[in-house]
Amino acid sequence: MAHHMITLPSGDTVGFSAAGDPLSDRLVLFCLPTPGAGMFDPDPVVTNTWGVHLVSLDRPGYGSTPPGTRGSLIQHRADDLAAFLTASRDAARSSGATVFGPAGVVGWGTGGMVALSLAARHPELVDRVAAFQTAAPQGHTVDPASQSLPPFRMPSLGIAPDHALLERPGVRSRLERMLAAAAEQGDAGTAHDRRALADRSWAKELGAIRADVRLIYADDASDVGRDDGAWYRRRIPSARVVRVTSDGALALVTEWDRILAHVAPDHGGLSAASREG
């Protein structure tokens, strides 16, 4: 379940969740995969001491966000994120609490497509992107995960139920909460994603990205990999492909500190004393 609700200028209501330091002026959006809702913090120990305000918005049909009326394109979701970032920046400025500059964005799986579309369509709002295990639309018109029906299980995320990292304290329970939140409206979210993934028009805008992009793939994941990274690299001048050797989809957990180092460099500008206090 989302922690908060916000009404966007479009009139659509969106649920969002937050983790990390709410006082940090380094905002990082986390775009969850299919299926996913609420918040999944890959490593709360790292997040809580990094100096970052981590926020995740539920896509239509997932968690607390109704299916909506604005259409199903990836671009619509990117524009929702842009509206959220603009509203957050304006609210912070008017309250005098903090000043948000450009945001970092992390996208997992299909969430990586939304993250890249946001960076392409709203370059003034995003300066760094990390897309993790994001398939290229070429040859991937529909993500197999979008065919899953609730209740959602680990294989929907490309994770074996007996993966050793699921026994790391908290990992399994955090993922299960994310999957449970994704199923709160039945299969409305995955149905919405199926419609979005059937359209590739968002990818035509990738050349407009100016943010510093990392495309991260685990060598031992069978669904996506180096060919997908190469596809994006040819279209995004600022992108670099990063390969990690193991842990599949759960490399997001083991690589979380490196991912935050990219999207929130220098710990969001907070000193070690501030982060640990």
pLDDT, tens digit, 9 for 90 and up, residues 168-204: 999 999 999 999 999 999 999 999 999 999 999 999 9
Q: What region, left, alpha or beta, does residue 38 occupy, with left being phi > 0 and alpha being psi -120 to 50 degrees?
A: left
Give residue 168's pLDDT. Answer: 97
Domains of the chain: 4-264 (3.40.50.1820)
Kindly report the average pLDDT of the chain as a whole number: 91
Give the pLDDT of residue 1: 59
Residue 37 is inside which H or E element, if any? none
pLDDT at 139: 62
Report whether pLDDT(220) > 80. no
271 — pLDDT class (breaks 50, 70, 90) = low
Q: Given pLDDT bands bounded at 50, 70 and 90, which one contains residue 23? A: confident
Highest mean pLDDT range out of 60-69, 84-93, 250-259? 250-259
So what's the pLDDT on residue 93? 75
What local confidence, expressed as pLDDT, does residue 241 receive? 96
Q: Which residue has the higher pLDDT, 227 or 270?
A: 227
Q: How large is the average pLDDT for residues 8-14?
A: 87
At residue 226 the predicted structure's pLDDT band, cuts being 50, 70 and 90, is confident
pLDDT tens-digit profile of 127-176? 999 999 999 997 655 666 777 889 999 999 999 999 999 999 999 999 99
pLDDT, mean of residues 249-256: 96
What's the pLDDT at 276?
62
For residue 277, pLDDT beyond 60: no
pLDDT at 96 over 70: no
At residue 15, the pLDDT reads 95
pLDDT > 70 fraction of the chain, expressed in percent and rounded: 91
Residue of 259, 262, 254 lying closest to 238 (CA atoms): 262
Listing DSSP states for 134-182 in one string gives PPPSTT-SS-GGGG--SSP-GGGGT--TT-GGGGSTTHHHHHHHHHHHH
Query: What type of residue sits at position 87?
Result: A
Half-sphere exposure of residue 230: CA atoms within 13 angstroms, side-chain side = 3
